[in-house]
Amino acid sequence: MRVARLLLCCVLLEDYSTNLGGTAITSDAMRQDGPSSATNPTLSDVPSFSEPIGNVTAAIGKEVALSCTIRKVGNYKVGWLRAEDQTILSMGDRRVTHSPRFFVTLENAKTKNQTQSREDEEATWQLHIRALKEADRGCYMCQLNTKPMLSQLGCVDVLVPPDILNSGTSDGEVSVLEGENATLSCKASGRPPPRVFWRREKSDFILVRGSHDPLIQVDNLSGERLELTRVDRRQMGAYLCIARNEVPPAVSKRVNLKVNFPPSAKAPNQLLSSPLETNVSLICLIEAYPKTINLWMRKEQVIMSGGRYEIDERGDPDEEWKTTIVLKIRRLKKTDLGEYTCSASSSMGKAEATLRVYEIERVTVPSRVTSASNKRVNQGKSKSGQGTMGNRVFHQQVSTPAMQKSTARLIYNNRYATTSTTADPRAPLIKDHGNAFKHNNRNDNHQNLKDRSDASAVIASKRIVLPLCLILFSTVR
| pLDDT, tens digit only, all 477 positions of the chain | 443 444 344 434 444 433 333 333 333 333 333 333 334 445 557 889 999 999 999 999 999 999 999 988 888 889 999 999 999 999 988 889 889 999 999 886 555 454 455 556 788 999 999 999 999 999 999 999 888 899 999 999 999 999 999 999 999 999 999 999 999 999 999 999 999 999 999 888 999 998 778 999 999 999 999 999 999 999 999 999 999 999 999 999 999 999 999 999 999 999 999 999 999 999 999 999 999 999 999 998 999 999 999 999 999 988 999 999 999 999 999 999 999 999 999 999 999 999 999 999 877 666 554 444 454 445 544 444 444 433 333 333 333 343 333 333 333 334 444 444 444 444 444 444 444 444 444 445 455 545 555 555 555 555 565 666 666 666 655
Of 115, 142, 158, the one marking the end of a domain is 158
| Diameter over CA atoms, the chain | 175
Tell me: do 44 and 105 sit in the same domain: yes
Q: Does residue 295 form part of some domain?
A: yes
Of 260, 288, 316, the one marking the end of a domain is 260
Bin 344: left if φ > 0, else alpha if -120 < ψ < 50, else beta. Answer: beta
Q: Does residue 239 form part of some domain?
A: yes
Tell me: do 302 and 242 sit in the same domain: no
Tell me: do 63 and 149 sit in the same domain: yes
Q: Does residue 404 form part of some domain?
A: no
Tell me: do 34 and 57 sit in the same domain: yes
Contact 324, 285 (CB under 8 A): yes
Tell me: do 144 and 171 sit in the same domain: no
Tell me: do 188 and 87 sit in the same domain: no
Query: Strands of 271-274's sheet, edge to edge?
Result: 271-274, 349-359, 338-346, 293-298, 301-302
Q: Does residue 438 form part of some domain?
A: no
Q: Does residue 298 form part of some domain?
A: yes
Tell me: do 135 and 33 sit in the same domain: yes
Tell me: do 192 and 117 sit in the same domain: no
Tell me: do 198 and 297 sit in the same domain: no
| Number of independent structural domains in the chain | 3
Rg (alpha carbons) of the chain, rounded to whole number: 55
For residue 297, the enclosing domain spans 267-359
Considering the entire predicted model, what is its pTM?
A: 0.61
Q: Rounded to an integer, what distance in angstroms lies between the CA atom of residue 297 and that of residue 188?
A: 53
Of 260, 288, 307, the one marking the end of a domain is 260
Tell me: do 92 and 56 sit in the same domain: yes
Q: Is 337 exposed, middle or buried (0-12, 13-18, 19+ CB in 10 A)?
A: middle
Tell me: do 173 and 147 sit in the same domain: no
Q: Does residue 11 form part of some domain?
A: no
Q: Does residue 22 form part of some domain?
A: no
Q: For position 41, which CATH number holds?
A: 2.60.40.10
DSSP letter, residue 186: -
Tell me: do 150 and 183 sit in the same domain: no
Q: Does residue 280 form part of some domain?
A: yes
